[in-house]
Amino acid sequence: MAMTMTKTKTAPKQAGQWIIPTILVLWALAPEVRRLVDWQIGFNSLPVINLIPLAALVPVSLLVFRRREHGIPAALAVIAAAWLVGFGFALLVALAAGSLLSALYQAAQFMLPISIALVVLGRREPTQTFKTVATTLAWLGFIVGAYGVFQYVAPPPWDVLWAQNSRLSSIGNPAPFEMRVFSTLNSPGVCGDFFALAFLSQLPYFRGRSLPWRIIAIAFIMAGLLLTADRSAWVAAALGSIVFVIFSPRRTAALAGLILVTVASVVVVATGAGSLPALQTIQDRVSTLQDVESDDSFVQRQQETREATHTALTEPIGQGLGSIGTATKLISGSTTTLDNGYLSRFVEMGVFGFTAYLFATLGAALMTVIRAVQARRESAEAASVAAACLAIQVGLLLLDVSSDHHQAFVGTMFWIAVAVPLMLVPKPVTRPVLRTSPGLRFAR
């Protein structure tokens, strides 16, 4: 009888351990499944398959809210409340303007990933939870990276069809050795985000028996990242690595691992992706970082920034969710984007919503992670995990400068990197009180 009761109690936890890996797999692979279906039955700009990862978060949200047994930490409650209030206000503005579908889609992209933070809290083992995330991303990164190298050398017909019909100029010419890799994701930018975050999540694990396999996986992750030619993702991965080395208790292992990964990724690019075309593509992209004034995309971004800033200042309550980004396809059939995530939020959310987004949420999340890094603890693994979460948060703050982030897959990683450090912060020890008389109390 006792054995039966024990199984009943542990079953939900065993089932819950698959939630986060499943969500990550869906975000990484669903776009490629969509392209295979499009190749067979015809192109569709926003098919149901693209909504599967988002839809999977709905039952997760319902499940974790019903099963929250230990309460929600005050810091997470404040951060999540500010997030929901800011986006809720922008959603009301959009609904008042009549933008129903696009507003709801955009709201779901930003709000549903919060449920992943509650899943992390329910596990009660933050270091093991983060390791599960990192291991999942290592396997996925190896698959996505290897496919990205193959896509660069010999683009499959279903990917070529997608590049032609999606009209994404960022992909380039979908021909061998000429295109920017997007692998199993929707675009080079999204793919670069995936690779950068997958790489930063591996930083605490440059040691142990699994190191050879992990080095191979990270080499393909870095090779794929280079072939996306996504400069912002390159910088985010580099800056995150520097942050990790500074704050990690295992600096020597981290530096040695980074050197091994760099050498291995160069070998993968040089041998698997054709050395001359791949290295020339990377060199040309790096040169634009040194001379941004002659970069057409940088000049265009400056013009967009001026116009969008003027628009945002003349509409202080914002235009409402769904007026910027992928969700605009549901209104006009085309996508209206800004190459700056902060500016996109300012235009959509107005002064009030943007303040809640930037300071009450992103700023508070960063302070929470810094607190976890500074906390004294005996476990070097916990300190390394906290440093990796800080590296992810810093990388995300930088990525938002170039395009819209903190939603969908990237939003999922943001909330993981908020919840795990909250679990790592040592809880204050309460001293029990012994009452001997109504007027006297002694601490035991």
Q: Is the pLDDT of residue 38 over 90?
A: no
Task: Please check whether residue 202 is in contact with residue 218, taking contact to mean a CB–CB distance below 8 angstroms.
Answer: yes
Residue 100 inside a domain? The answer is yes
Q: What is the mean pLDDT of the chain?
A: 82
- Find the mean pLDDT for residues 159-165: 89
Range of the domain at 287: 18-424
Residue 429 inside a domain? The answer is no
Residue 440 inside a domain? The answer is no
pLDDT attached to residue 416: 95
Residue 8 inside a domain? The answer is no
pLDDT attached to residue 114: 92
Rg of the chain taking only CA atoms, in angstroms? 23
Using a pLDDT cut of 90, give the percent of the chain over it.
40
Report the interhelical angle of 251-272 vs 275-290 (nearest 10°): 120
Rounded Cα distance between 145 and 151, Å, is 10
Residue 438 inside a domain? The answer is no
Q: Is the pLDDT of residue 373 over 60?
A: yes
Rounded Cα distance between 382 and 162, Å, is 42
pLDDT attached to residue 444: 41
Question: Which of 29-38, 276-285, 352-361, 371-380 has the least mean pLDDT?
Answer: 276-285
pLDDT attached to residue 259: 85
Question: Which of 195-209, 263-277, 316-330, 365-379 has the least mean pLDDT?
Answer: 263-277
Rounded Cα distance between 352 and 86, Å, is 7
**pTM for this one?**
0.87
pLDDT digits (tens, 9 = 90+) for 200-216: 999 999 877 777 888 89
Confidence category of residue 443, pLDDT binned at 50, 70, 90: very low
C-alpha closest to that of 335 among 54, 106, 86: 106
pLDDT attached to residue 112: 93
pLDDT attached to residue 439: 47
**Overall domain count for the chain:** 1
Using a pLDDT cut of 70, give the percent of the chain over it.
78
Q: Is the pLDDT of residue 196 over 50?
A: yes
